[in-house]
Structure formats: C-alpha cells, structure tokens
Amino acid sequence: MAESIALFLAMQKALDLGITKLSIASDSQQLIKALSGESPPVELHGILHDILYSSLSFDEIRFSFVKRDFNRKAADLAKSALHSIPIVRVTN
C-alpha cells in the first residue's frame, strides 16, 4: 500500500512540474502487475483507480518492475525518508 501511495504522489508532483512523459520503475511486483491489468488485492482498489485515472493526464507513461537488488539506492532513500517523518501521537 505504501508503494502505491508513493507512486501516486510522485505522479502528482510530475504533473505539477509539467512533465508529460513518465517512466516509473518499482520493486513492488504486486503493484506493477495490478497496474498492468492483473487482479489487484482489494486493499489497492481505491489507490489503483487514482493512479490509473491520473495516468490519463500524461502523454506517455510506463510502469515497470525492477528487482529490489537492482533498486537498492532508491529503496534506501525511501526508507530514510520514511524514518524522517515526525510521528504525531493522537490522544483522547
């Protein structure tokens, strides 16, 4: 689920920057398969709809799978970003 949200936010940023051609590589094989038409898990239905709808705004868009071993730098960067997000505790 986190990968799909990150992908959606990246697409929105690309659109904000005026990018019209986009190639996205992800190490989430399940996400890439779902975007390619395979039956997605129920928990991805809403965000997949948002991703596919947003993809219509690009002149060209491509989604591809990359093994995590070949995507180590991006995976490490993503983990670092996740750890830098402040935790907000909500109490009643």
**Cα torsion 25, 30, 34, 36: sign:** positive
Domain boundaries, the chain: 2-84
Q: What's the confidence (pLDDT) of residue 42?
A: 81
* CATH 3.30.420.10 given to domain 2-84: yes
Element counts in the chain: helices (H) and strands (E)? 4, 2
Q: What is the pTM of this model?
A: 0.73
Q: What's the confidence (pLDDT) of residue 29?
A: 87
Q: What's the confidence (pLDDT) of residue 90?
A: 67
Per-residue pLDDT of the chain (92 residues; tens, 9 = 90+): 778 888 898 899 999 999 999 999 888 888 999 988 888 778 778 888 999 999 999 999 999 998 877 667 776 776 776 677 666 666 76
Q: What's the confidence (pLDDT) of residue 82?
A: 66
